[in-house]
A and B are shown apart, each in its own frame.
Chain A
Amino acid sequence: MELFWYIVLMTMLTIYIILDGYDFGAGIIHLFFAKTEKDKKAITNAIGPFWDANEVWLIAVGGVLFFAFPTLYAASFSGFYLPLIMILWLLIFRAIGLELRGQIHNKLWETIWDKAFGIASLLLALFFGIALGNVVRGVNLGMVTNGVSAHEPHYFFLPLWNSSFSPHSEHLGIIDWFTILLGIIGVVALTIHGANWIIYKTNSDLNTKLRSVIFKLNFVLLALVIVSLLVWHIIEPKPFHNFIKHPWLWVFPLITFAGLFGLFKVKTFKKDGIGFIFSSLFLFGGLSSTVASIFPKLLPSTNTTNPDLTIYNMAADSYGLAVGLNWFIIAFILVIVYFIIQYKVFKGKMDDVGYGEH
């Protein structure tokens, strides 16, 4: 039962990152590459009808996490208190940037909200990468010093950073050089992903430029992935432990590299949607490989006094999980139906004005 809910949760999280990921990417593109009003319009139109529903996946992930792994929800949300609240602020800022920009036609007003949208998107992409880094690296559970827990074994608290910026420090921070590395991977991967979405959804003048940007960024991404694999050993002494035990798990890294390879080859395909499929594959493969490598841990402990948080010691009671199954299956089917309807109605490329006035 725990395993089922774990898979549900990870699937939903991946869907969220792939969907809202292109929104963040579009925001980053908007910040750096949208020079004209027409470019900006093309970018916001490409995400216009979708971003709201994409964001709902985050709320749904939070809800399912709360329901299926309440202890983990409690421990991690209070432990990562500061960055989570800041993520909330950024999400709010980004959303109002999108909603309010078009409401008043004034140069200064538009510039302010363009920047709010772009910068918040960039920081969110960075933060999500950093978050992944924290989960992989682990935290000092129970806030142990000299072998003594200051708190219950599954609680912790992390400041934003400490002066050493090292993932091996006794007093860890949210930000260290390892988590920053994953943060940068997040930014680069989502920029590529967002650019692919814009190319897929629009006939914008920007598309040609975006194609060459993606091509260059692919090399950066490849380099970053290799570096991160090399330093992974520093964080996890036996990174392939699970892969050796269950060889079928290699399918996930293979998907990652297939996605990455496809991104390099995208020019040979005539259709515009292909690039987006490859960047989605890369994100899916990357996330699932990471998850597979730390399974069944949800949050590793950096000390030996307190055990890792795993799907088994963090799950809710089995009756609750079993009942949840009934409504969840119905709800999930409905959600898929909504998405098919939504993407069918707004299928294909958008013209300059999107699908109608907003």
Chain B
Amino acid sequence: MEDMLFYDRMQFAFTITFHYLFPQLTMGLSLMIVYFKWKFLRTKTETYNDAAKFWMKIFALNFAMGVVTGIPMEFQFGTNWAKFSELTGGIIGQTLAMEGMFSFFLESSFLGLFIFGEKLLGHKLHFVTGFLVFLGSWASGFLIIATHSWMQHPVGYEILENGKFVLTNFSALFTNEWLWPSYLHNQAASLVTASFVVAAIGSFYILNNKHSEFGKLFVKTGVIFGLIASILVAFPTGDMMAKNVVKHQPVTFAAMEGIFETEDGGSEIILIGQPDMKDKKLDNKIAVPNILSFLTYQKWDAEIKGLNEFDEDVHPTNVPGLYYAYHIMVGLGTIFIGLMLAAIVQLFRKKLYKTKWILWSLMFMLPFPYIANTTGWYTAELGRQPWLVYNLLRTSAGASPTVSAGNTLFTLLGFIGLYLLLGLLFLMIAGKIINKGPEITTH
């Protein structure tokens, strides 16, 4: 039983981590493609249209990877988490079914038209199909975050005698306090990924002295979108989320921030430190006094409950994992803002394309938004453990009762093998598309 739960959790964690590498780019990128296409319609400069078409190729490849790795996500609710599906399906089934009906059809129908239909449709309609693809991908994110938010902060439900959750208020699912901050935070974060990818490839072109015209356009667009998005991730959306966590999951908040003891006169913010689970304290810490209290409650001396005040039974399952995931996310987010700010300053001084260190940094920063997004997602998920539905349903009570550990291990290994292959192929093809660069339309 223990083994099985472990493999089930590893399988879900592995498949969702891999899956989310793709939609986080496509959601942000779809907005940027719409922007390029819109600029083309306004300025009639072919470069913008060629840029839109180039990114569409990257988008299509990522979208295909997102779709094929997304189908297992839905299936796993039934295959590996049958008990959870049985008990909560009447509620989260709503948002998941809506995702299929409202967003996947929209995306897949119009992506085909967007890829194949430029000549058939003309530029204006082509723009519209691109916009609908964007709308579909953002709707998809919204409905997934709505599902996730219900698990973090259940609303509009009633629990029957047999343990089943039934829906009593449909609109509550969408007015959930947890939902909007998470959604906006997540979308801003996916725009960060897309901007960094666009800027990184632009820098690559400039530094490599090829496709320089596109290189400049990509770097410029990337850093403008990037600065706005990285600021939005921190404020107001990140701030709103932190306030939600402290309000509804105070024990999670304490673990995230690394606060073991409640301190009189306000809590310090931990910049660096290592959770020591044996002695229930933080080792080697560097901290700034009272800042956390201020950020959380706008009062320098507000009390923040430490982890040690809560019953160990409700502590997050993996406190160090949660603490590190959160601090990596916040740390990277701060670096993103700094780098984008420096790039924007150089852009206004008209020196950006010659400032080598920024271009190199932008290029090498490419994997880090992915890491920040992943650790952000881990923060949310590890923060909820040991619960599937916060405070109501334990993870250990959600696994499939009849599937044995051997089967789960077998499929876990299968997924690892298959996804390694997919990842390799993806990098190969993406590298090829990037190396070839945008195709220039000639008249």
A-facing mask of B233-257, CB < 8 A → 1, else 0? Answer: 0000000000000000000000000
CB of A96 within 8 A of chain B?
yes
Query: Would you call A323 and B167 a contact (CB within 8 A)?
Result: yes
Query: Would you call B89 and A74 a contact (CB within 8 A)?
Result: yes
Query: Would you call B429 and A355 a contact (CB within 8 A)?
Result: no
A314: nearest residue on chain B (CB-CB)?
A: B86
Partner-contacting stretch, out of B42-50, B104-112, B264-272 = B104-112
B60 vs chain A, min Cβ distance (A): 8
With A67-B89, A356-B116: A151-B401 Cβ-Cβ less than 8 Å:
yes
Query: Would you call B402 and A143 a contact (CB within 8 A)?
Result: yes
Q: How far is the CA of A286 from the CA of B411 in the complex (A)?
A: 33
Q: How far is the CA of A355 from the CA of B75 in the complex (A)?
A: 33
Q: How far is the CA of A339 from the CA of B109 in the complex (A)?
A: 7
A307 vs chain B, min Cβ distance (A): 16
**Interface SS majority for chain A:** helix
Tell me which residues from 81 to 124 in chain B have a Cβ below 8 Å from any Cβ of chain A: 82-86, 88-91, 93-94, 96-102, 104-106, 108-113, 115-121
Residues of A near B118 (CB, < 8 A) are 356
Tell me which residues from 85 to 109 in chain A have a Cβ below 8 Å from any Cβ of chain B: 85, 88-89, 91-93, 95-96, 99-100, 103-104
Residues of B near A77 (CB, < 8 A) are 75, 77-79, 82, 85
CB of A58 within 8 A of chain B?
yes
Query: Would you call B85 and A73 a contact (CB within 8 A)?
Result: yes
Tell me which residues from 326 to 358 in chain A have a Cβ below 8 Å from any Cβ of chain B: 327-328, 331-332, 334-335, 338-339, 341-342, 345-346, 354-356, 358
**Interface SS majority for chain B:** helix
Q: How far is the CA of A339 from the CA of B101 in the complex (A)?
A: 13
CB of B432 within 8 A of chain A?
yes
Partner-contacting stretch, out of B62-70, B330-338, B376-384 = B62-70
Query: Would you call A52 and B94 a contact (CB within 8 A)?
Result: no
B11: nearest residue on chain A (CB-CB)?
A: A85
CB of B427 within 8 A of chain A?
no
Partner-contacting stretch, out of A26-34, A152-160, A204-212, A238-246 = A152-160
Contacting residue for B67 out of A52, A67, A68, A355, CB 8 A: A52
With A67-B96, A320-B91: A332-B101 Cβ-Cβ less than 8 Å:
yes
Residues of A near B186 (CB, < 8 A) are none
Q: How far is the CA of A346 from the CA of B115 in the complex (A)?
A: 12
Interface residues on B, range: 35 or more
Query: Would you call B104 and A60 a contact (CB within 8 A)?
Result: yes
Query: Would you call A316 and B90 a contact (CB within 8 A)?
Result: yes
Residues of A near B70 (CB, < 8 A) are 59
Residues of B near A332 (CB, < 8 A) are 101
Query: Would you call A73 and B402 a contact (CB within 8 A)?
Result: no
Residues of B near A319 (CB, < 8 A) are 166-168
Contacting residue for B115 out of A74, A151, A358, CB 8 A: A358
With A82-B407, A92-B422, A320-B167: A346-B83 Cβ-Cβ less than 8 Å:
no
Residues of A near B77 (CB, < 8 A) are 66, 73, 77
With A60-B100, A151-B401: A99-B61 Cβ-Cβ less than 8 Å:
yes
A-facing mask of B399-428, CB < 8 A → 1, else 0? Answer: 011111001000100100010001001001
Query: Would you call B100 and A70 a contact (CB within 8 A)?
Result: no
A-facing mask of B259-286, CB < 8 A → 1, else 0? Answer: 0000000000000000000000000000
B270 vs chain A, min Cβ distance (A): 41
Q: How far is the CA of A88 from the CA of B70 in the complex (A)?
A: 10
Contacting residue for B71 out of A48, A58, A81, A323, CB 8 A: A58
Residues of A near B105 (CB, < 8 A) are 53, 56, 60, 331, 334-335, 338
Residues of B near A96 (CB, < 8 A) are 64, 68, 422, 425
With A56-B104, A66-B93, A66-B97: A155-B109 Cβ-Cβ less than 8 Å:
no
How many chain A residues touch the partner (CB < 8 A)?
68
Contacting residue for A345 out of B79, B80, B117, B407, CB 8 A: B117
Q: How far is the CA of A73 from the CA of B207 in the complex (A)?
A: 53
Query: Would you call B79 and A92 a contact (CB within 8 A)?
Result: no
Query: Would you call B85 and A63 a contact (CB within 8 A)?
Result: no
CB of B74 within 8 A of chain A?
yes
Contacting residue for A81 out of B86, B170, B403, B425, CB 8 A: B403
Query: Would you call A70 and B115 a contact (CB within 8 A)?
Result: no
Q: How far is the CA of A100 from the CA of B170 in the complex (A)?
A: 42
Query: Would you call A317 and B86 a contact (CB within 8 A)?
Result: no
Residues of B near A50 (CB, < 8 A) are 112
Q: How far is the CA of A346 from the CA of B85 in the complex (A)?
A: 39
Q: How far is the CA of A357 from the CA of B170 in the complex (A)?
A: 45
B430: nearest residue on chain A (CB-CB)?
A: A103
Query: Would you call B108 and A53 a contact (CB within 8 A)?
Result: yes
Tell me which residues from 369 to 408 in chain B have a Cβ below 8 Å from any Cβ of chain A: 400-404, 407
Residues of B near A91 (CB, < 8 A) are 68, 71
Query: Would you call A74 and B85 a contact (CB within 8 A)?
Result: yes
Q: How far is the CA of A335 from the CA of B67 in the complex (A)?
A: 18
Query: Would you call B98 and A331 a contact (CB within 8 A)?
Result: yes
CB of B72 within 8 A of chain A?
yes
A319: nearest residue on chain B (CB-CB)?
A: B167
Residues of A near B94 (CB, < 8 A) are 67, 320, 323-324
CB of A71 within 8 A of chain B?
yes
CB of A170 within 8 A of chain B?
no
Query: Would you call A52 and B111 a contact (CB within 8 A)?
Result: yes
Q: How far is the CA of A349 from the CA of B12 in the complex (A)?
A: 43
Interface-centre pick from A52, A60, A103, A341 (highest chain B CB count, 10 A): A52
With A77-B75, A143-B402, A155-B402: A317-B96 Cβ-Cβ less than 8 Å:
no
A72 vs chain B, min Cβ distance (A): 9
A73: nearest residue on chain B (CB-CB)?
A: B78
Residues of A near B425 (CB, < 8 A) are 96, 100
Query: Would you call A358 and B116 a contact (CB within 8 A)?
Result: yes
CB of A55 within 8 A of chain B?
yes
B113 vs chain A, min Cβ distance (A): 6
Query: Would you call B116 and A48 a contact (CB within 8 A)?
Result: yes
Task: Supply 25 A–B pairs (Cβ within 8 Å), ascending by A.
Answer: A52-B64, A53-B108, A55-B71, A60-B101, A62-B74, A63-B96, A66-B89, A75-B82, A78-B80, A79-B402, A82-B407, A84-B78, A88-B72, A92-B418, A96-B64, A96-B422, A104-B428, A317-B167, A320-B167, A320-B170, A332-B101, A338-B109, A345-B113, A345-B121, A356-B115
A73-B85, A356-B115 known, 19 other contacts, Cβ within 8 Å? A59-B71, A62-B78, A63-B93, A66-B93, A74-B78, A74-B85, A77-B79, A78-B79, A78-B401, A85-B72, A91-B71, A92-B72, A99-B64, A104-B428, A317-B166, A320-B90, A323-B167, A332-B101, A356-B119
